[in-house]
Amino acid sequence: MDLLYRSTRSKDGAVKASQAILKGLADDGGLFVPEAVPRLDKSLEELSAMTYQETAYEVMKLFFTDFTEAELKDCINRAYDEKFDTEVIAPLVEADGTYYLELFHGATIAFKDMALSILPHLLTTSAKKNDVQNEIVILTATSGDTGKAALAGFADVKGTRIIVFYPKNGVSPIQEKQMVTQKGENTFVVGITGNFDDAQTGVKQLFGDRELADIMDKAGFQFSSANSINIGRLVPQIVYYVYAYAQLLKESKVERDEKINVVVPTGNFGNILAAYFAKNMGVPIAKLICASNENKVLYDFFETGIYDRNRDFVLTSSPSMDILISSNLERLIYLTAGADADKNAAFMSELSTAGKYEITADMRAQMKDFYGNYASEQETAEMIRTLYEKTGYVIDTHTAVAAAVCRKYRKETDDNTKVVLASTASPFKFTRSVMDAIDEKYDTMGDFELVDELSKLANVKVPGAIEEIRTAPVLHDTVCGKEEMKSVVMKFLGI
């Protein structure tokens, strides 16, 4: 039987996985959620003998039930290939008593590659399965990493175009250079004079614009999303938590059924939600530790049960987490509200109008396995420096936020459960912040001088993703206000 997907905001008809992937966002503005979270049908011992690609199939086949085995395996094999600089795809590195799950070995050196390498293949396969004739326009907002990973995934993919909006002054120099040098006739990158939440809100409004949808349909286009609101992004992220536990088991780092804690640096809530799904599939995960930077809206939510975006937006050294509206949290709200779409829709309406909502005591009780905390800019820098001085291992700013929160959790609770920490980006992506944290003497160097210095310091080869942008020409220089996003999209599509 097919596993069907419903919107978090209405009780209307369910859709198959391929239809949910194609749509990205439900027509009512909700997010697609499976009617049930499937349990793993292979034991963790069996999974421990499998490659990353084989593990991916065992997880994804349970969610994407309207894909044939051949279709799904083709998508997986085309995604997890030589684009990754390690055969294991997602290695675990032990440093100072924590297992760092390195999710940055793909083409754009950030964890977004783990899902965005496969999404174009899932999407184009879904289009064929549903006899879609329109060209698919991928519309995406990015706080830094999704943009480049999506651009790299969709560049020159037949039958698609991709438009990425990013906050003009809200990403790292390396992140911006990666995006604005992107090749591909079907790619378009736009800086907006606002923050990530402005970009994300603008994209959601474009998805909900029925008049625009009609105009696009007549011109032979339809929107889809590469953001983590797309279930085709979320499900591939579940895989690496299953794989990580299986590898710990294989290497006798954990005993059978021994629980681990998972720590995730969190912005839009997709990556930690994937860990929550893995837990519900049967992976022995105890605590889900949600790490925020100074934009600590999620920490406050887990502390109080109140989600309140009415606060100053802080630009930090971990820009991919500079988010006040965590879109994927809506899926958790819906599930803990008993899959009550009306209840969830009321919360989201409050968020839209008043900028805040408060969940019930019963819902909070269902979130007891989540722990939230945050790291200041000073704590983040200190974490990078102390870990390097103690072990020689260099982590990026987002990973450092998670490591600092993990340290706080252990101190606060005396819980010494083994920890898998999602290391979400290469330190080469945030070179200046990382090198400044290690020693302020590096502050006078240029961006690419710092890259070479970091390579020496960490004894790690400069990633190809960085080498290729050293001298790459800028191909995208469009900047617009948030109110101009619709006209910019229409101009690019020639409608």
Question: 33: which strand partners?
Answer: 6
Helix (H) or strand (E) holding 464: helix 464-467
Backbone angles phi, psi at 370, to 5 degrees: -90, 140
Check if the beta carbon of residue 328 is closer than 8 Å to that of residue 183: no
Label residues 410-427 b or e (16+ Cβ within 10 Å = b): beeeeeeebbbbbbbbbb
Which residues, in sequence order, are CB contacts of 267 under 8 Å at separation 6+?
143, 295, 320, 321, 322, 323, 326
Joined together, the tokens standing for residue 478 give 């469009």
Looking at the DSSP assignment, which residues form a beta bridge with residue 191? 166, 479
Residues 6+ away with beta carbon under 8 Å from 343: 337
Is residue 23 flagged as an active site residue? Answer: no
Q: How far is CA 291 from the centre of its chain?
A: 14
Locate all alpha helices (DSSP H) within 184-230, ordered by sequence.
Answer: 196-207, 210-218
Q: Which residues contact 17 (CB under 8 A, 6 or more apart)?
A: 2, 3, 5, 63, 64, 65, 66, 67, 126, 231
Active-site residue (options: 23, 112, 287, 296):
112
The phi, psi pair for 236, rounded to 5°, reads -60, -25
- Give the residue among 134, 110, 136 at the shortest CA–CA distance from 123: 136
SS3 string, 393-406, reads CCCCHHHHHHHHHH
d(C-alpha 175, C-alpha 194), whole Å: 17
The rounded Cα 468 to chain-centroid distance in angstroms is: 24
Task: Catalogue the active-site residues.
Answer: 112
